[in-house]
Structure 1
Amino acid sequence: MLKKPIQELSLEKFSKYGTFVNMLNPQTVKISEPPIEFFRDMAQLQLGCQAAPSFSICRVTKRPLIVDASEYHNYCGEGILPLDGDILMHVAPANGGTLNTEDIEIFHVPQGTFVTLRPGVWHHAVFAYNTEVVNTLIVLPERTYATDCHVYEIPEAQQVAIGS
């Protein structure tokens, strides 16, 4: 079994997979001043040719920190926003459908940080980090999980343990 360290998000390390932005403490252009502030256009998500974004919740409960499955979407990106706790997520570069577990990287995503993944980037359900349960908002085109979700169950010998 491979072992991969947890990395903090940084533009340099994460840019090949997508983008991220702190939605709770925005550091961007805003329109107006308190008591009403509007922070505009903070993140963009490639939804392909689908017109209707769908908003879902993925609730994860504390479980062993083992990456045993991964998935990708050919035709759209995915938005991930941990609502009530920090998460760990794995990613690997888009590569046409063959996961190399050596390429997997693990990132710590703080609560309130919106992550956008590019089409084709390998990922899967996140892990609750330093808490028992985390609700994560998932943004995808409607029914992507049924029409454009390519899941790979990782053989035990190639699974990835998260941690230093």
Structure 2
Amino acid sequence: MLKIQELRAENFSKYGTFLNPLECGEPLGASQDDPVRFYPDRIVLTFAASNVLAFSPIAINPRPFLITDIEYHEFTEELIGGFTEDVCFCAAPAGELDVSKIEVFKLPAGWWVRFKRGVWHKAPYVLGDRPTVGLVGLPPHTYTADCHVVDLAEPVAIAL
């Protein structure tokens, strides 16, 4: 069983970056006391084949904590987050899939994660008994043009 880890730069940087929107540093042209604060360019994505980013809503119901398949994108990075509930998600290093290297991370509600190109991942699992909604950011039609999915020979369980 895979243990859920807290997101930290030292344990997630090989897969991408993450953002806690409540801890963004100093706002641009404002103080922390101003009623509106803007924090530019906190997550930057690269795309090889497009300069367009599409946001797609994703709804997730509670389901068994079993990883049965996993995917990667060869030419683009992916952004997920803004979930209304805490979730967990899996990631594994880019390259040939080694199931023993899959890791699982907790993504608190409202946080965001950027997956680097080639990093193995899959849709999150909601932590708790309430459904959640969030957003996935990818170039349009990535899910049909650059989504490589592998079914695992045996499910991998996530320990709560």
> TM-score scaled by structure 2?
0.93
What does the per-residue CA deviation read over 1:117-142, in whole Å, with 9 as the maximum and x for residues that have no partner?
A: 00000001110012321112100011
| Alpha-carbon distance between aligned partners in 2 of 1:131 and 1:10, rounded to the nearest angstrom | 25
1:38 maps to 38
Query: Which of 22, 26, 31 is the equivalent residue of 2:23?
Result: 26
Distance (Å, rounded) in 2 between the aligned partners of 1:102 and 1:132: 30
> Match for residue 156 of structure 2?
160
* Alpha-carbon separation, structure 1, partners of 2:99 and 2:116: 18
Give, in angstroms, the shift of residue 144 of structure 1.
0.1
The answer for the alignment partner of 1:135 in structure 2 is: 133
Match of 2:7 in 1: 9
**Could you report, residue by residue, the CA deviation over 1:6-64 in whole angstroms, capped at 9, with x for unpaired residues?**
100000000000000112x1332312131221111111112223111010012111000
Q: How does 1:64-75 map to 2 (within 5 A)?
A: 64-75=64-75
Moved over 2 A (4+): none
- Deviation per residue, 1:80-103 (Å, 9 max, x gap): 1132011110000001xx321101
- The one-letter amino acid paired with 1:109 is L
Does the residue aligned with 2:143 lie in a helix, a strand or coil? helix
Q: What's the secondary structure of 1:6's corresponding residue?
A: strand
Runs of at least 5 residues in structure 1 that lack an aligned partner in the other structure: none
The aligned counterpart of 1:116 is 114
Alignment match, 1:57: 57
Match of 1:99, SS state, is coil
In structure 2, distance between residues paired with 1:53 and 1:108: 25
Cα deviation for residue 163 of structure 1 reads 0.6
Question: Do 1:26 and 1:39's aligned partners in 2 also have CA atoms closer than 8 Å?
Answer: no
- Structure 2 counterpart of 1:88: 88
CA–CA separation in structure 1 for the residues paired with 2:99 and 2:141 = 27
Q: Following the alignment from structure 1 to structure 2, what is the Cα–Cα distance between the partners of residues 58 and 130?
A: 17
Question: What's the TM-score, normalizing by structure 1?
Answer: 0.91
- 49-58 or 139-148: which moved more? 49-58
Q: Tell whether the 8 Å contact from 1:87 to 1:109 is kept in structure 2 after alignment.
A: yes
Alignment gaps of 5+ in structure 2: none
Q: 1:103 aligns with which of 77, 101, 104?
A: 101
Q: CA RMSD in A?
A: 1.2
**Could you tell me whether the CA contact under 8 Å between 1:82 and 1:134 is conserved in 2?**
no
- How many residue pairs match? The answer is 157
Asked whether the 8 Å contact 2:81–2:112 carries over to 1, the reply is: yes
- Aligned identity (percent) is 35
Partner SS, residue 120 of structure 2: coil
SS of corresponding position for 1:154: strand
